[in-house]
Structure 1
Amino acid sequence: MALNLLSPSAVIGWAVQTTATVVSIPGRLLGLLTATEEAVRRANELIERTDTVITSAEEAVEHARRVTAAADEVLQVTKPMLRFVTELSAHEIEAAIRLVDELPKLAEHMAKDIMPILGTLDRVGPDIHELLDVTKEVRQAILGIPGFAYLRRRGGGRELQG
C-alpha cells in the first residue's frame, strides 16, 4: 500500500493558512464586539426615545380623559337647556340676548322704583277705594244738578278745547 504523504510545502502552506485564520479570529471577534456594542447602544437610545414617547402619550391620554370628563360634566349640566334652546327660533334667541343685556337696568329700576311702590300697596288699596267712593258721590251730585241732562246732550259730540 502506498502512503500519501503531504509534501513539506503543502504542510507549510496549510500551517500559514491556519495561522492566518487563527490570528484573524481575535480581530474579527473585536469587530463583531464593536458592532454588537454599537447595536446595543442604538437599541438603548431607541428604548429611551420610546420611553419618552410612551410617557408623552400617557400624559396626552390622561389629559384627554380629564377634558372628556369636564365636557361630560358640562353636558350633564346643560342637558335641560338643550331642549329649551332647540325649541327657540333665531329671532327668539336674539330677543332673549337683548333681554339679558337689559337685565342690569331692569334690576336697578326694580330695586329703586318698583319695590318701594310695592311696599306701599297695602296702604294704597284703601286710599283707591275711598277715591272711587268719592268719585261716585261727585258723579251723583253732578247728575243731580238741574239742567245737567240738557247740557250733556248739547255738548255730547264736542271735545274740550284747552
Structure 2
Amino acid sequence: MRLPVPGPRDVMSLLERGGDQVEAVIGAVPRMLTLLDDAERLLVRASGAIERVREVTEAANVVVVRVGGVVDDAQVQVGRVTTLMDGLEPSLTRLQPTLETLADTTHPDEVKALVRLVDQLPVLTERVEQDVVPILGTLGSVAPDVHDLLTVARELNDMLAKLPGMGRIRRRIDEQEGEDDTDATVR
C-alpha cells in the first residue's frame, strides 16, 4: 500500500486553513481571558456569600440555643403557674361574686382611706397593746368599785332629798335639764 505524500499544494492549503484556525484561536484568547476574569469575580462573590451564610448559620445556631433555654425556663414557669392556678381556682371561683360586688361598690376615696388605715396599723397595734389592753385587764377590779360609788351616790341623793328646800332646787334642776335637752334636740 502506498502512502499518500502531501504535495506542496496540500501543505500550502493546510497552512492556509491552519492559519485561519490559529487566528480564530488567537481571537478567542481575549474572550477566554474575559471569561476567566468573570469566573474569578464570581468565585470571589460566591466565597463572600458562602462566608455570610456561615456567619448567619452560626448566629442562628446561637439564637436557637438561647431560644431553647428560654423555652425550657418558660415551661418551668408554666408548670408553676398551672399548679398555683389549680390550687387557687376553687377559692377564686367562690370569691368572684364578692369581688365583683366589691369592685362595683368601692369608691377610689375609700381605697385611699383603707391604704392610709393599713399604713397606720403598726402604730394602732402598739397603742392598743400598751394602753388599751392594760386598762381592759383592770376593768374586772374596777367594776365593784364603780358599783360601790353608785350606791354611795344614791344614798347621798336620798339624804339630800330629805333636807328642807331641796325639793324646789331639785325641780328647778330638772326643769333646766329639760330645757337643755330641748335646745340640744333643736340644734
Fold agreement, TM-score > 0.5: yes
Amino acid in structure 1 at the alignment position of 2:63: V
1:127 maps to what in 2? 145
Q: 2:68 corresponds to which residue?
A: 58
Q: Deviations over 1:54-80 (max 9, x none)?
A: 233334445556677788859x59x66
Report what 2:10 is aligned to.
Answer: none
| Structure with the bigger percentage of helix | 2
- Counterpart of 2:109 in structure 1 is 91
Q: CA RMSD in A?
A: 4.7
CA distance in 1, matches of 2:80, 2:162: 80
SS of residue matched to 2:106 = coil
Q: Give the share of equivalent positions with the same residue, in percent.
A: 29
Structure 2 unaligned spans of 5+: 1-13, 30-35, 178-187
Q: Which amino acid aligns with 2:139?
A: L
Structure with max Cα Rg: 2
In 2: Cα distance, 1:11 partner to 1:108 partner: 120
Report how many residues are paired: 149
C-alpha distance 130-156 of structure 1, shift in aligned 2 (>3 A): closer
CA distance in 2, matches of 1:61, 1:47: 20
After TM superposition, the structure 1 = structure 2 runs for residues 11-160 of structure 1, keeping only pairs within 5 Å, are: 40-62=50-72, 83=99, 86=103, 87-153=105-171
What's the offset of the Cα at 1:44?
2.9
State the structure with bigger RCO (CA 8 A, min sep 6), 1 or 2.
Answer: 1
Letter of the 1:56 partner, please give it: R
The aligned counterpart of 2:32 is none
More deviation, 63-72/111-120: 63-72
TM-score by length of 1: 0.58
Name stretches of at least 5 consecutive residues in structure 1 with no aligned partner.
1-6, 21-26
Inter-CA distance 38–154: structure 2 relative to 1 (3 Å threshold): closer
